[in-house]
Amino acid sequence: QVQLVESGGGLVQAGGSLSLSCAASGRTFRNYGMAWFRQAPGKEREFVSAIRWSGTTTLYADSVKGRFIISRDNAKSTVFLQMNSLKPEDTAVYYCAASPFLVVTNNKDHYNVWGQGTQVTVSS
């Protein structure tokens, strides 16, 4: 089983960019689909983006489509989230998650390994 550690969060002005990273430990990283979720104060944790184990298929929430890009480097056991044109409503704690499912999924119940989260704050 992998363990996940996110990094790269911070404070940015609206319209700016941030890049998140999620480093995985364990030799089985390439067997997992990976995703990013986020949770704003007082709200449910919501899906942001996911990528298949091979990197060939990606999935995005409508709210971030065209602004965020997910990618992975299996050789480095790392998944990335490039966030562009950030909006105040993107403010949340962002979580990296791993799923043993072979298909890309936006269902958080399909993810059985979670990181500790990294705070992203977008000021207006």
* Integer Cα distance of 71 and 32 in angstroms: 13
Closest CA to 35 of 12, 75, 68, 1: 68
Closest CA to 101 of 87, 91, 111: 111
- Report residue 70 as tokens: 């997910």
Beta bridge partners of 38: 46, 94
Asked if residues 23 and 3 have their Cβ atoms less than 8 Å apart, the reply is no
Residue pLDDT tens, the chain, 124 long: 789 999 999 999 999 999 999 999 977 888 899 999 999 999 999 999 999 999 999 999 999 999 999 999 999 999 999 999 999 999 999 999 999 888 899 999 999 999 999 999 999 9
